[in-house]
């Protein structure tokens, strides 16, 4: 693996593999008792939370059975000689999105691992300056290997999507595919519904002025969301100038300054629909600088990856599939390509529904 990839293996998979090695070395058989969460934590030298996730993964792989107050018991071991359709999955994501938006959180990776037992899921951080160079190296390595590698692309560039599509390797876009690129599977939330449910919620809250606050880098799904927001406002009779659209820098200090100048102007928007959680948090910081009565503002977030906790202080469109289920769906889309697709859908849209903020002061 090239050093610039900045790759890491999800800790949960490593811990689960250590437990499998422990089971094997002790010659445990089906029905034998296995470690409790506390015992696994001590054996692995990690927190009980991390040990519990590793045991969860073994349970999902049907290696152990866990019963409340009775502990864990061996069900069986994976057949190491069994052919595996995939050897490795490269989860390609920019560090910024993983750090600030939760893309690639433990629950998503847990879902993938549970559907792909024994497959190495590897997070590869895409560099800002030479994304395509790294991807070309990964593709070359995958094509030269005896085993099969797959790819999950998270907000990758158009050129990266095109390179991976042209490689013929199993790949899934976790998001929207750029127009003109064929041969890729995808899993995305219903981006039209994302914009629609948030715009309708803001209208119901009585707002007259709206803002859609996006990243400076506009992705295919962003356009769909913007069009949905504008469409809902038009249907309600709102004027064209009731919606302001702003592309904000990734630097938080600059972003807050930009938002501050927007919010202190006369007749500023009060319905603030933010593409990401980071932008929403910067909106809060900007409102703190503006001062005065902030109860007239409502903030909503388009992209919220809960990582197992659905509570959020902002309204957001919650997918009907949780993060772990989406991870499972990504894995199934990869497996279907290896198996020749059969009847599986190539492009999956996950419905969403409005999730109210945990606190609503209005």
pLDDT in tens, 200-241: 999 999 999 999 999 998 999 999 999 999 999 999 999 999
Band (197; pLDDT cuts 50, 70, 90): very high
Portion of the chain with pLDDT greater than 90, in percent: 58
Band (11; pLDDT cuts 50, 70, 90): low
- Of 34-38, 279-283, 303-307, 343-347, give the lowest mean pLDDT range: 343-347
Beta strand ranges found along the chain (DSSP E): 33-34, 64-67, 71-74, 88-93, 120-125, 149-153, 171-174, 185-189, 210-215, 243-248, 271-276, 298-303, 316-319, 347-350, 352-355
Task: Give me the DSSP letters along 267-302.
Answer: T--SEEEEEEHHHHHHHHHHHHHH-S--TT-EEEEE
pTM recorded for the entire structure: 0.77
Evaluate if residue 6 carries a pLDDT over 70. Answer: no
Evaluate if residue 300 carries a pLDDT over 70. Answer: yes
Strands 298-303 and 71-74: unpaired
All domains in the chain, ordered by first residue:
9-74 (1.10.10.10), 88-189+320-351 (3.40.50.2300), 191-319 (3.40.50.2300)
In this prediction, residue 105 carries a pLDDT of 67
- Could you report the per-residue pLDDT of 95-144, keeping only the tens digit for each? 777 666 656 567 888 899 899 988 888 888 888 777 889 999 999 888 88
Phi and psi angles of residue 92, each rounded to the nearest 5 degrees, phi first: -90, 120
């Amino acid at each position: 693996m090239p050093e610039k990839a900045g790759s890491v293996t999800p800790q949960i998979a490593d811990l689960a593999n250590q437990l499998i090695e422990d089971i094997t070395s002790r010659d445990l058989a089906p029905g034998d008792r296995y470690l409790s969460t506390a015992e696994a934590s001590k054996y692995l030298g990690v927190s009980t939370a991390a040990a519990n996730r590793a045991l969860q993964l073994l349970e999902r792989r049907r290696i152990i059975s866990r019963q409340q107050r009775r502990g864990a018991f061996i069900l069986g071991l994976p057949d190491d000689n069994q052919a595996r359709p995939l050897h490795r999955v490269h989860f390609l994501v920019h560090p910024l999105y993983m750090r600030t938006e939760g893309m690639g959180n433990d629950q998503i990776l847990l879902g993938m691992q549970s559907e792909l037992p024994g497959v190495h899921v590897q997070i590869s951080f895409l560099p800002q300056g030479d994304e395509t160079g790294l991807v070309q190296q990964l593709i070359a390595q995958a094509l030269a290997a005896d085993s099969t590698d797959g790819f999950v692309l998270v907000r990758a560039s158009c050129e990266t999507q095109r390179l991976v599509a042209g490689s013929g390797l199993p790949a899934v876009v976790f998001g929207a595919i750029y127009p003109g690129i064929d041969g890729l599977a995808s899993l995305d939330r219903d981006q039209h519904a994302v914009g629609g449910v948030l715009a309708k919620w803001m209208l119901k809250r009585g707002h007259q002025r709206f803002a859609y606050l996006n990243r400076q880098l506009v992705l295919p799904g962003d356009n769909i969301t913007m069009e949905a927001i504008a469409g809902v406002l038009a249907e309600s009779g709102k004027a064209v100038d009731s919606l302001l659209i702003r592309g904000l820098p990734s630097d938080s200090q600059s972003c807050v300054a930009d938002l501050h100048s927007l919010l202190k102007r006369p007749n500023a928007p009060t319905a603030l629909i933010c593409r990401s959680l980071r932008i929403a948090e910067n909106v809060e910081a900007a409102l703190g600088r503006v001062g005065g009565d902030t109860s007239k503002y409502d903030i909503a977030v388009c992209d919220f990856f809960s990582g197992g906790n659905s509570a959020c202080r902002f309204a957001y469109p919650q997918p009907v599939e949780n993060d772990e289920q989406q991870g499972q769906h990504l894995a199934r889309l990869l497996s279907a390509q290896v198996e020749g697709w059969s009847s599986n859908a190539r492009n999956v849209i996950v419905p969403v529904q409005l999730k109210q903020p945990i606190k609503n002061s209005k």
